[in-house]
Structure 1
C-alpha cells in the first residue's frame, strides 16, 4: 500500500472524513487532530508526507511482532481464502490449534481457553468465572491498574479512566500494589515494600471477609500505570494468600504477556501459576482482534455440567485464531522471546540507566524485556513528578513538550502522566533501539528544562 492508502484518498481527505465521521476513544473530539498514517513495516510507521517514525509505543503496547510480518500476513490471507468465519458453537481447526498452543505455553494446569475479541472482554469473563466458581461476589483490584473499558473491567480499573463510569459494578475492593519509588507503605527497600504490600493485602482480606472474596486481580507487571515490576516474592505471596482462603488469582497479562517481558508470560519470571490468565494484544499483535482467558482445570471443571453464562458472536474467530497460531510459531522459529529478553538486559536497560546518569529529570528507570519506564521528575530528592497526577491542559505541558520533541525527531513515544515508556516491538533490532535512545537523549533536554531541584 502506498502513501495514498487503500482507498486512494489523499491525506486531506483522510483528515476531513476522520473529523466528520470518526468518534475517537478517550478524547474530546474537537480538541484532537489524529495523524493520518499511510503504512508501516517492522518497527516503523509512515505518515502521508513520507516521514517515518520509530515506534517506541508498539501502538498500544500490542504490536509485539512488528508491523506487516510477512508470515503472519500470509497466514491471515490463507485462512481468509479457506474459511473466513464460523460460529463459536462449532469446532474449528484454527481455534483448536490456537487454544492448544496457548495452553502449552501457560504455567501450571491452565489447560483451556475462552476466546474473546480483546482484553476488556477477557477481564469481564474472568470476573464472571471467578464469581460463579466461588459463589462469592467481591473482587479485590489494585489502584494504578487498567483492565479495560467495559462495565466490569472499568470498575476493576484503578486509574482515573474509571471515574466517569462511577458508580460502577458493586463488589470491587481497592488495594495498593507494590511501588517502591512511591511507596504507600513507607518502605525503604524493595524487599520491605513487598512484605508490607502483602501484609496490607492480607489485612484487607481479613476485614472484608475472606468468604466474600471471589478473586484478587492484578497486572503481573503493571502496564500503562507505570511498568511496575513486582518485588521478588510478592506474586508468590499473593498466590499463597489466595490458596489459604480459596480466592481465585487472576493475572492480567494483556499487556505483559507474549514476549513483552522477555518470557511467554510475565508470571514465568517468578514461577507462579495463577488460576486465570487474561491475554490479548501480543498474542497476535493486533493484526486481527483477539483476546481470551486461560483457565485452570479446577475452574473449568465448575462448568462441566453447568453452562457458562457468557458468549460472544466472534469468540475464537477463525481469522484471529489463525493469526495467533502463526504468531506463536513465528515467535518460536525466530527466537523472539529470547530476543526481547536480551534487548532488555543488554541494550534497553543499560541505555536507559545511562540516560538517567545524564538527565536530572529522570527520577527512576524500571522494567524488563521490552517493557520499560522512565519516571520524570522536577526534583530527584523530593520526587515531585514532572507533571501532576492526571494532569491536563497547561499542567501537562512539560510532558507534551517532551513528546513533541520526540515526534519531531522521528520517534513515537508512549507517555502517561509523568512517565515515558520504552515499549518497542519485541522484534526491534539493537541498532534500532539505540537509534531511539539517542532521540530520547535529545528530547530529555526538554524535560530537564523544567527541573527545579537543587542539583539542577
Structure 2
C-alpha cells in the first residue's frame, strides 16, 4: 500500500484508541530511525514523546532487533511453565537492578496487566481487599487497572469494582493552601492520607498504589519527604506499597527506577514500556522476597498465555544491556538538565505557561489563561472547544510530535536525544506558545 491507501484502510477497518473516529487522520509511517520517523511523502517528524513514553531507545536499535531475530531462529514461543533462556536471564537481570528486598518477577504483556496482577497479588498476600490510588493517576484502561485509575478515563468503567479508594495527589501548584516549604506540603498531604486510611479501616487496606512520579496527569514530582512518609504509613498500618514504574522506569527520570530518587524500598514494583521500548510487548510485577516466599506454599492465582514471552524477554535483555553499555543514564541526566533550563526559560517568557515540571527527560508544560489566578487553559476533563487539540495541531505542523492531556503538553523524548536535537525542537515549542499567548491568554 502507499500512504493514502494505508490511511484509508485504517479509517475503514480500525478502531483507534481514545478517539472519536470520524475525523481521524493517522500519519502513515514509512520508515523510522533514532528520534525521527518519515511519512510516505518524505516528511520527517520528531518523536518528542517517545511515542507513548515507551520507546526510550528510539527507533531502529540494531541490538534489540538482532536479539529478537536470534530468538526467532531458536523458537518464538514456549508456554510460561517451560524454561526459556531469555525469560530466565531477564528475570535475573531485573532482580539485580532492584533493592535487595526484592525477590521475583511475574511477567505480563503490558502496564495495565502489571497493575491488575499487582493488585491481585497484594490481596492474596494480605487477605485484605481495599486498594488506595490517587485521583490524578493513570494505571491502564482494562477493568481492574481502570478502577485503579483516578482521572477521567475511568468513567467508562463505572460503576466500578468495590474496594478501590481514591485519595488526593501532592499537587502543590494547584493546592488551595500556600505552603511555606516542601516539607510543610508533605506534612499536610500525609496527614490527610493517614486520616483517610483511618476512616477506611486500617485492617481492610491491602495496598497503596502510586505512580512514583505522576505521568500523563502532569509530571507531579512528590515534595521532599512525601514518598518516605507514605512508606512509613504503609509500615505503620501493614499496607503494601506498590510503585507503578510503567512510565518512570528504565532510566526515564535519571535513575533506573524513579523510586530510587526517594530512598525507599517498595513492596511491589510494576513495569512495562521501556523494558522493551515497544519493540515487543512486555510488562511485569516485581515482589519482595517475603511475598515471593508466601507463594511457595500458596497458589499464585495469576496466569497469562504470553507471560514471559521469549521474544519479549529477548528484547528486554537487549534493552537492559543497552541502557548499561551505552551509559543512557548519563545522557538522560546531562540532556535533562538542559531540558529543565529551557523549560524555565519558556515559563518566564510566555504568559500561557503557568508551571513547568521536569525530572530527567520526563516533563510537562502546564498551560493557563492567567498566571495570577492559575485558571487552567481548559477545564478539567472538559475541553469542549478542542483547544488542546488545536495546540497539538500547531506542533504537528512543525513536525514536533507529542501528546497533550488536560491542560498539559508532555515532553518526554527518547533517551538517546542529543542536546543539539533538543534545542532544535524546543524552538518549535517556543513558536507555538507565542501563538497560545496571543490567542487564549486573558
Q: Do they fold alike, i.e. is TM over 0.5?
A: yes
Q: Is the CA contact (8 Å cut-off) linking 1:378 and 1:450 kept in structure 2?
A: no
Choose the corresponding residue for 1:355, options 318, 329, 346: 346
Could you tell me how far 1:59 is from its partner in structure 2? Answer: 0.6
Q: How far apart are the structure 1 equivalents of 2:6 and 2:176?
A: 47
Could you tell me how far 1:283 is from its partner in structure 2? Answer: 0.8
- 2:300 maps to 1:300: no
Q: How far apart are the structure 1 equivalents of 2:342 and 2:186?
A: 27
Q: How many residues align?
A: 442
The match for 2:411 is: 422
Q: Which aligned pairs between 1:32-181 and structure 2 lie closer than 5 A?
A: 32-181=24-173
Q: Is the CA contact (8 Å cut-off) linking 2:106 and 2:286 kept in structure 1?
A: yes
- 2:368 maps to 1:368: no
- 2:258 maps to 1:266: yes
The match for 1:385 is: 376
- 2:403 maps to 1:408: no
The match for 2:281 is: 289
Q: How far apart are the structure 2 equivalents of 1:153 and 1:413?
A: 24
Unmatched tracts of structure 2, length 5 or more:
none
Q: How far apart are the structure 2 equivalents of 1:419 and 1:386?
A: 9
| Normalised TM-score (structure 1) | 0.95
> Which digits, 9 at most, give the CA deviation of each residue in 1:119-161, with x for residues without a partner?
0000010000000111000001100000111111000100000
Q: Is the CA contact (8 Å cut-off) linking 1:185 and 1:196 kept in structure 2?
A: no
Root-mean-square deviation (Å): 1.2
Could you tell me how far 1:407 is from its partner in structure 2? Answer: 1.1
Could you tell me how far 1:188 is from its partner in structure 2? Answer: 4.9
Q: Which aligned pairs between 1:338-349 and structure 2 lie closer than 5 A?
A: 338-345=330-337, 347-349=338-340
Q: Which aligned pairs between 1:308-319 and structure 2 lie closer than 5 A?
A: 308-319=300-311
Q: Is the CA contact (8 Å cut-off) linking 1:386 and 1:450 kept in structure 2?
A: no
The match for 1:5 is: none
Could you tell me how far 1:422 is from its partner in structure 2? Answer: 1.1
Could you tell me how far 1:36 is from its partner in structure 2? Answer: 1.4
| Normalised TM-score (structure 2) | 0.98
- Aligned to 1:363, the other structure's residue is in SS state strand
> Which digits, 9 at most, give the CA deviation of each residue in 1:47-92, with x for residues without a partner?
1211111111111011001111111111111111111111000121
Unmatched tracts of structure 1, length 5 or more:
1-8
> Which digits, 9 at most, give the CA deviation of each residue in 1:396-422, with x for residues without a partner?
32x223212211112112211111111
> Which digits, 9 at most, give the CA deviation of each residue in 1:428-450, with x for residues without a partner?
11111111111111111121123
Q: Is the CA contact (8 Å cut-off) linking 1:107 and 1:272 kept in structure 2?
A: no
Q: Which aligned pairs between 1:179-198 and structure 2 lie closer than 5 A?
A: 179-183=171-175, 187-198=179-190
Q: Which runs of 4+ in 1 moved over 6 A?
A: none
